[in-house]
Structures are given as structure tokens and as C-alpha cells.
Structure 1
């Protein structure tokens, strides 16, 4: 079946072998823009792990009940799918940087509020709202950051997306590892630090991209 579509075993689909893809993926780590993208990429994995483990255990299960975890996750899933679906249209309307900035502010407000919030029995609206807002932020981050990798590395798209998945998964693994080692408040602080550092790195790269485009426009106008 693989051969009928012209893809050989060990081929990534664009004529690049698995070994060569691995080499190109690792080589991208030598580039400054890839290093600057690591914190925000790992944050995506960290926050997804926190939601799956700590939000459901420390908030929903404690205050609303274990049997209600599914309702909260449904809110997350629906909001996540909707946000991912409309993120592209929002980027065209308000711009990638503006959308990422709004998402970062909402995410920071949510994390900060959760740090000072105590789970209360019967407060189901808070749990569903938290899950939905979290789903919106996660959907936007996935679309914006993933697409930005394609803009940064147009000549190595598959390797760029491999790096995205690699470091997102790394953040997720770290999140699951520390889930049983640290208290919830400490993990919220770690998430806040990662998103702040990640936004700084992301902002620097966006500025450099904007600067290059501006210089190119000046050269073309001359």
C-alpha cells in the first residue's frame, strides 16, 4: 500500500529519509530563532499536562467530584476545537502578533487567578468556564505557534514541525513527571514563568521578522 502511493519505507514523504530528517531537525537547534521558540513551545506541552492531571485532580475532582471531570473536559474540547478552527480567520483580521498577545494576557490572567482560587463544592460554572477558556488559549497557541514554525523555516518545513512536536512533547513529559513531585501552586508558578519567558522569545522573533520585512520593502521601493 505504501509503494502504491510512491512512498518508500523510511521515506518521510518529501524525498527525505528518516535519518536525514533527524539530522536536519537537530541542526535547526543551532539556529537562534529555534532556541527562542523553545520556551513557548514547551509551555504548550506543560499546560496541556497540567490541565489533564492537576486541573482535573486538584480543582474539578476536589470541588465538583470525580464523576464530573468529563463535563469539564467536554467544555475544554469544544472550546479548543472552535478556537483552532477560527484562529486562522482571526490572524487575517487582527494579525498574528495581536492574537498571540491577547491569548498570552488571557492565559496569564487565568493562571494567576487559579493560583489564588480555592475549589468550592457546587461551583460548576467556574470549572466549566476555566476549562473553556483554557481550551480557547490552547487552540490559539497550537495554531499560531505551529504556523509560525512554517514561516520561520520555509525550506525545512517537515523538520520544523518535527521540532515543534518534539519540544511540545518534551514539555508534556516534564509536566507529567513533576505532577506527582510538586504541589499545584508551584506548578502554576512554573507555567507562569514559562509563558512569560516564551512570550519574550516569541516577541523577539516576531520583531526580527517584522524588521526584515520592513527592510525588504525599503529595498524594493528604492
Structure 2
């Protein structure tokens, strides 16, 4: 059984028997029934769409925030190569620790800073300034950083590296969603389910799908 839910601006999610996938390419290995079971009553207060949308926003937060950091450092006079290196290191910190930083009250700000329209316009203005000011090193470093972050090249490479060499028990998407559920549950006073059991189930399902992929190879 599948259920397609749409929101404004083209974002949508698709509920399946094995989990939830979104138009941003993220897959969460838990269902509506699973959330109802482990955080009883939460979906009566917070819609599933809002929960998954929040998770999507935070999953992509590193891209926009690292790009904004590069803009700020470069415009403040920091060496372009150093600015780029700091931005890429910041992205990695966000990638591996996003579940720790995903505070719900910051979600609107993160969503704004990661908005495609704002980032594209900002990138164009900053690069135009670099070109006009003959800051060609900053210009080309900025182009590379933009491609790595906003086109998600760095994210795809990091995903591949994590899956190939680190073999984490619980995928990044599910670790983040687990934390989002905990925080929403605490804010609504609904955190009465067995969250450890939910995490164990997520690990079991993730390992099942990983094993299936290995067998196909």
C-alpha cells in the first residue's frame, strides 16, 4: 500500500509498507504505524508530513549552512582556500552530528538559510562581487564549493564512504528521524513509547535492506 502526500513548493512524501521516502531523495525506514506504536498520540498533535519535512530540512542543513559560512568568511577577507576548507569541515561536522544539532525551534531559521532561491541569489551576488573586485581565486573556489555542496556532490561522496567503509548500525536518515521524534514527543508530552525498541527495529530493518543489496550483487 502506498500513500502519496504533497505539500507546497513541490515537496512530497510517499508512504510505503517498508518506510517513507521523500522528493528530496531521503528514505526513512519506519512507517506511520511504527511511529504511532512507539510515540503514542504524537501524530494526533503533529502531522506525519510536518515530522518528515522537518527531518528533510535538517538532513540538508549542512549544505546551505556551510555555503553561507563560506560567503561570510570570504567576504570578511579570509583566504579563499582557508574559507573553503573551513566550510567543507563544517559540512562534515553537520553531516555526522546533525541529529545532535536538530533543535526544533531552529528549524524555521535553518529552512530559510537552506532555501534554494535565497542561496542561488546570494551565490550569484557574491560571485559577481568577487569577479568585479578581481578576486578570481575566491570566485573559482566559490564555484567549486557551490558545486560540492548545493549540487550535493560532497554529500553523495560522503554517503558512499559511510556505507562502504564505516558500516554504521543505523543510517543517518533514521538516526535523525529518531531524534526528531524524541524532541517532538518531549515537546508534546507524548514520549511514553519504547524508543530503544524503535531504534533496534530500525537497525534490524536497515540491516535487512543492506543484506538484500549485497545478495543482489
- Give TM-score scaled by structure 2 length: 0.29
Bigger relative contact order (CA 8 A; separation at least 6): 1
| Structure with more of its chain in strand, by fraction | 2
| Structure with more of its chain in helix, by fraction | 1
- Give TM-score scaled by structure 1 length: 0.29
